[in-house]
Amino acid sequence: MGEAPPLSARATPPGSYDPFMTVGSMGDELREREAELQALGRELDAVVGGSGRAVLVEGSAGIGKTRLLDELCARADGRARVLRGRGGEPEDVARHLAVADRCGEPWAAQALWRAAEVAGGRGAPEAAVTYLAAALREEIDPALRFRVLLAAGWNAFRARDRRGLGWLEEARRCAPDPASAVRAWAAVWNWRAVVREPAPAAEVLAGLPDELPDQLAYRVQAHFLLDFGFSGAGTRALLDRYPVPTEEPEGRTLAEHLWLSARVADLVVRGRPAAEALAIADRVDVDAVLGSRAADTPNVVWLVLARAGAGDLRGAEALARAGLERNRRSASQMPFEWLTASTAIIQLLRGDVAAAAASMEPWLESEPWAGVPVTEPSVCGALVALHRERGDPGRAWAALARYGYVDAEPPTDWHGAFLLHQRGRLRRDGGDVAGAAADHERCREVMDSFHGPANPYTPWRLGLAACRAATGETEEAGRLLREQVEQARAFGAAPLLGASLRALALHTGGADGIAVAEEAVAVLEGSDARGELARARLVLGRLLRHDRHIGPARDELRAALDLADRLGATRLCAEVEGELALAGVRPRRRAVVGVHALTPAELRVARLAAQGLSNPEIAQSLFVTRKTVEKHLGAAFAKLHISSRDQLDAVLVER
């Protein structure tokens, strides 16, 4: 057999450390393995001495490469870390490459790209930005460069790194095709909108191709409707520039289904009949939309929220949960945050405060969740609404402070309007009526200019009417409430109509108010808005007590307390118990053991454990820490009087 080619090694650029790959060849056979090991050992000594080295061991199967590296690892003996395979784990390679000015190897950019995907998936955008910035310094083909620029911009967006906008602008300029140009354009616009530097519609349109294929036109319109608003001037400019073939597409492609989902949201926020919006929502291929890219997540979220706004709370929550289940397999952070916040908002619309708390658990832990900027207004709004319903205004204000919205104005979009509405309610609870009125007025302006006046999630008239009543402007408060009820009747969604009737009943009072409250209860009894039903029964009980109908008042108040207690609505329970005390009823004791004593978070963890998932698997699927899983399982075991996971199946059957 011939002599094996000599081993060659090349130092990496200054600043690198540990061997991360080898450079050179060992031929097809290793005849003098000790000599090769000695050569590798010299490189190892160089690493320990502070000089970065890289060695690539190549050759056909069965020639002893693995044994050689095993002996090298043994020789390292803790002095240096030897990376195996093509450099060990993706981030192991990237950490070595990122500290160098430039590696110059053809595989380097791909290695850094793979590592950035891993870092982004584990919620470390800063590390992903480091890897992608290093990838852009390497020799890289145009197609990969475009993808790296987009990823760098997006991760910088998450990490609040201002370099991201420059990378996205470069991606827009070097987009290889119209579809890529649209992706880059959408990314640039999202960045500028969230950092409150929106571009004029004409400027954004200038960055798009002159013409688009029909299917791409559907996709662009869908994104534009969500980003620019459903009634903004920018929307009209784009609709004129890129008309779709028909506004009644057959739904044969993903682009058409994304457009239909945006159309559903359009109808809901403009106050068109809820039944019309739900009929179009039923035409959307949910599986296609759920299975699309993370960039299409806003369309999924809008479809979820539009269904809920139109009164289909059960269907909306099922869709959101399906989206979260799909996302659990991909572990993408932005869809997780948006869909989780949307799920919590729907659960709050249903009145299930305990379930909403379980959904928002990643943000309720002691360590702040490192989130995605574009989702922050939704997450913050959901947290404020949740803490308010739990009777904890201090934590609600802490959530506003964490995201910088104690006094600052949120983005001018639906998510910002929702946050304004929730902050206004919180201010009013604390006695800041002027501040609350200002928030509700601003909410109205945002909805009028960006979407439409009828968004069911931000019924600003209800908040503003309460402020007017608090300052003695009863006639104006009554006008706002009657206008709200009229609009809600035309819209036809039971949750919104019930809430509107409840507020009007409380304002009206007397026998007329009782009649309106009875209508509110009747409307809500046929819906999934159990929290609103409890509030309507509270108002009816209060009005009956004021009118000296003590027996019927107690019945309504007991029913309200039973609902509020089962929903975990602490604040509402306290209100109802106060009314019951005035009606001469003593408070009752609540369950502290058994399945029904489990919180939604404890129940969710227990069910996953019963399915055979380990604690790390449960933590990963729920985006919480292992310590949190252990805490919930421990609490569940104590309440269920069990001592092992094997007993969970039997005791969870009853719930």
pTM for the model stands at 0.69
CA pair distance 475, 51, nearest whole angstrom: 81
Find the DSSP H helices in 270-312: 274-281, 286-290, 297-309
Cβ-proximal residues to 641 (8 Å cutoff; 6+ apart), any chain? 593
Find the DSSP H helices in 351-473: 353-359, 361-364, 376-389, 393-402, 414-429, 433-450, 460-470
pLDDT given for residue 330 in this prediction: 59
Cβ-proximal residues to 626 (8 Å cutoff; 6+ apart), any chain? 615, 616, 619
- Best-predicted range by mean pLDDT (155-169, 407-421, 533-547): 533-547
**Are 487 and 449 in contact, with CB atoms under 8 Å apart?**
no
Whether 337 has a pLDDT exceeding 60, the answer reads yes
Paired strand residues for 10 = 54
**Are 560 and 568 in contact, with CB atoms under 8 Å apart?**
no
Paired strand residues for 11 = 53
Q: What is the mean pLDDT of the chain?
A: 78
Instruction: Give the tokens for residue 393.
Output: 């205004």
pLDDT given for residue 562 in this prediction: 87
Amino acid letter, 288: A
Q: Which residue matches tokens 């609350």?
A: 436
CA pair distance 199, 201, nearest whole angstrom: 6
Fold identical between 89-188 and 595-652?
Answer: no
Chain centroid to Cα 574, Å, comes to 31
Write out the DSSP string of 320-351.
Answer: HHHHHHHHHHHT-HHHHHHHHHHHHHHHHHHT
CA pair distance 48, 40, nearest whole angstrom: 13
**Residues 382-411: pLDDT tens digits?**
999 999 988 899 999 999 998 889 998 887
Q: How many residues does the chain have?
A: 655
Whether 294 has a pLDDT exceeding 80, the answer reads no
Closest CA to 80 of 17, 11, 23, 13: 17
Whether 591 has a pLDDT exceeding 60, the answer reads no
Whether 523 has a pLDDT exceeding 90, the answer reads yes
CA pair distance 540, 544, nearest whole angstrom: 6
Whether 237 has a pLDDT exceeding 50, the answer reads yes
197-211, 573-587, 637-651: segment of lowest average pLDDT = 197-211
Instruction: Give the tokens for residue 65.
Output: 């490469």
- Residue 632 Cα distances to 347, 485, 507, 531, 604, angstroms: 21, 43, 43, 26, 9
Cβ-proximal residues to 313 (8 Å cutoff; 6+ apart), any chain? 346, 349, 350, 495, 527, 528, 529
Whether 22 has a pLDDT exceeding 50, the answer reads no
**Are 336 and 374 in contact, with CB atoms under 8 Å apart?**
no
CA pair distance 375, 338, nearest whole angstrom: 6
Closest CA to 235 of 303, 189, 291, 289: 189
- Residue ranges covered by each domain of the chain: 89-188, 214-341, 595-652
Q: How confident is the model at residue 31 (pLDDT cuts 50, 70, 90)?
A: very low
27-31, 594-598, 645-649: segment of lowest average pLDDT = 27-31
Whether 88 has a pLDDT exceeding 50, the answer reads no
pLDDT given for residue 631 in this prediction: 87
Instruction: Give the tokens for residue 498.
Output: 């019930």
**Residues 482-496: pLDDT tens digits?**
999 999 999 999 999
**Are 111 and 118 in contact, with CB atoms under 8 Å apart?**
no
Whether 247 has a pLDDT exceeding 70, the answer reads yes
SS3 content of the chain, % helix, strand, coil (to 5): 70, 0, 30
Q: Which residue matches tokens 């454990």?
A: 609
Residue 11, φ and ψ in degrees, nearest 5? -70, 140
pLDDT given for residue 173 in this prediction: 85
**Residues 138-195: pLDDT tens digits?**
888 888 889 889 888 888 877 778 888 889 888 888 888 877 877 787 777 667 665 5
pLDDT given for residue 635 in this prediction: 86
Amino acid letter, 243: P
The domain made up of 595-652 has a fold known as: Arc Repressor Mutant, subunit A (1.10.10)
Residue 18, φ and ψ in degrees, nearest 5? 60, 145
Whether 30 has a pLDDT exceeding 60, the answer reads no
The domain made up of 89-188 has a fold known as: 1.25.40
Q: How confident is the model at residue 256 (pLDDT cuts 50, 70, 90)?
A: confident
More confident call, 139 vs 197: 139
Amino acid letter, 49: G
Compute the average pLDDT of residues 435-464. 83
129-133, 275-279, 283-287, 600-604: segment of lowest average pLDDT = 600-604
**Residues 440-452: pLDDT tens digits?**
999 988 887 765 6
504-515 burial: b if 16+ Cβ within 10 Å, else e: bbbbbeeeebbe
